Structure 1
Amino acid sequence: MDKLTIALPKGRLFDPVVEILREAGVVNRELDDDSRKLILEDEQLEIDFLLSKAVDVHTYVEHGVADLGVVGKDVLLEAGASVYEVLDLELGSCRLVVAIPEEAGITSLEELPSTGRVATKYVNVAQEFFDQQGIQTEIVKLNGSIEMAPLVGLSDMIVDISSTGRTLRENNLIEIAEIARSSARLITNRVSYKTQHQRIKNIIDDVKAVISKQ
């Protein structure tokens, strides 16, 4: 049996993802995302776990360093990664939205001017969305505190993820459009899915069975 490598996202999704994999019989050892080791081996199950920043998981899977991985749909949309998305783990649910300062008095996309400046870390997703709407935008890439951009005059609006809307409200921003819904997805390398199809399919089925019970 060939060894499998699974890339796991460090951070808030790590523990719930590991718990699902443990119930599915895929994890049979202690895994800690605070570990100094970035590759943890399970010799009994012949699986290596690669601990990665969430935004890098798809890269390891796409390039065949990992056979399977867990990544947010928002990251997949932005990256346009060439991987197979095989299962929604129904964790970390959020939405990619367009939000604008409440004081602008705009409540829908139709009311937006034909041009505008957008702050976001989802550059590709935002560009494609506004192109489809026929709105000419200048995209300003930010990696954190996106909500600050309209407050300091850096942008007219933002594209960001929102779970409860609380952060938007606290910064006097209102949502005017939903671009996509996101949650953690199980992905697989395209070649691995063919060369180790049965083993990967068994993992998918076992994980799916765990999720259906929740």
Structure 2
Amino acid sequence: MKIKIAVPSKGRISEPSINILEKAGLGLKDRESRKLISKTFNKDIDVLFARASDIPEFVQDGIADIGITGIDLIEENEADVIQLLDLNFGKTNLVLAAPEDSKIRSVEDIKSEMTVATEFPNLTKKYLENNNLNLKIVKLSGSTEAAPFIGVSDLITDLTSTGTTLKMNHLEIVDTLLESSIVLVANRESLNDKKQLIESVSTSIKGVLEAARKKLLMMNVKTQYLDSVKEVMPSMGGLTISDVLSDEQTVAAQAVIDEDEVFELVNKLRNAGAKDILVVPIERII
């Protein structure tokens, strides 16, 4: 029994999506050629390249068993899929924005005769309905931020991660419609029929995410300093100790720690009596 994983064929989330699959042990056999369907080094798993906006429906309809896509696209397409994991990248917000020199500073300033331009007409319509606003919606396929300045609309809804592009285009955020990130999703039937294989993929990717901000710290410690080292050593599951055969008075110690603890902790460990300290990257934590 085989499964297909739908991955964006291009755009800002394409490479991170492929990289996370490769770190999870699902490297592409023909990555450079970028065929529509690429085999992985697991004979039961193929990768289907598709437009990011098509992936929610591909997974919903069973064309792909699982897929990597944005919450914004899932919600815009009203796709019936199961979210398995938040992949911790591609975080962005769908916002309502108006020109800086307009008098629109809040939702209360919006008039019903106004027009809003967007690549997300469904999400925009829901937002307007929830706020009792009856605006004309103009669907665009790009360059949304230019719409108010060429007479197409009074407002826009658009994706932003930092707000910098909006500011550069003299637009000001009025409200946030949706917070989005990139997620791993599954087809409902596939999750039942191919549960074991899909869970294997999900578990491997989760392991990559868990390891992303972790390091393995390894060191040698004289037994007389071991208690001092233990006191300063945080870890996921306690300090692991093993004998050093060449020196009965020394043990080898190791622990998994958060990456942002490394700088300060190494100096504390040295002062506590640790030596030969190694900081090692971790590929996966299962």
TM-score of the two chains, using structure 1 as the length reference: 0.93
Map Cα deviations across residues 154-196 of structure 1 (whole Å, 9 max, x no partner): 1110001011212211211100101111111111111000001
Counterpart mapping for 1:44-63 below 5 A: 44-63=42-61
- Alignment correspondent of 2:277: none
| 1:27 paired to 2:27 | yes
Map Cα deviations across residues 22-69 of structure 1 (whole Å, 9 max, x no partner): 22223363524xx35211123643211111111111222111111111
Give the Cα–Cα distance (whole angstroms) in 1 for the partners of residues 28 and 114 of structure 2: 51
- Alignment correspondent of 2:4: 5
Q: Which runs of 5+ in 1 are unaligned?
A: none
Counterpart mapping for 1:39-118 below 5 A: 39-42=37-40, 44-118=42-116
- Alignment correspondent of 1:17: 17
Counterpart mapping for 1:57-206 below 5 A: 57-206=55-204
- Alignment correspondent of 2:209: 211
Give the Cα–Cα distance (whole angstroms) in 1 for the partners of residues 126 and 28 of structure 2: 42
Say if 2:60 and 2:188, in contact at 8 Å, map to a contact too.
yes
- Shift of residue 138 of structure 1? 0.7
TM-score of the two chains, using structure 2 as the length reference: 0.70
**1:168 match: secondary structure:** helix
Paired residue type of 2:170: N
Give the Cα–Cα distance (whole angstroms) in 1 for the partners of residues 136 and 81 of structure 2: 29
Paired residue type of 2:15: D
Paired residue type of 1:149: A
Give the Cα–Cα distance (whole angstroms) in 2 for the partners of residues 59 and 106 of structure 1: 36
Q: Among the aligned pairs, what percent are the same residue?
A: 37
**1:104 match: secondary structure:** coil
Deviates more, 1:38-47 or 1:158-167: 38-47
Give the Cα–Cα distance (whole angstroms) in 1 for the partners of residues 3 and 169 of structure 2: 45
Paired residue type of 1:63: D
Give the Cα–Cα distance (whole angstroms) in 2 for the partners of residues 24 and 43 of structure 1: 11
Say if 2:30 and 2:38, in contact at 8 Å, map to a contact too.
no
- Higher radius of gyration, 1 or 2: 2
Say if 1:114 and 1:134, in contact at 8 Å, map to a contact too.
no
Q: Which runs of 5+ in 2 are unaligned?
A: 213-286
CA RMSD of aligned residues (A): 1.5
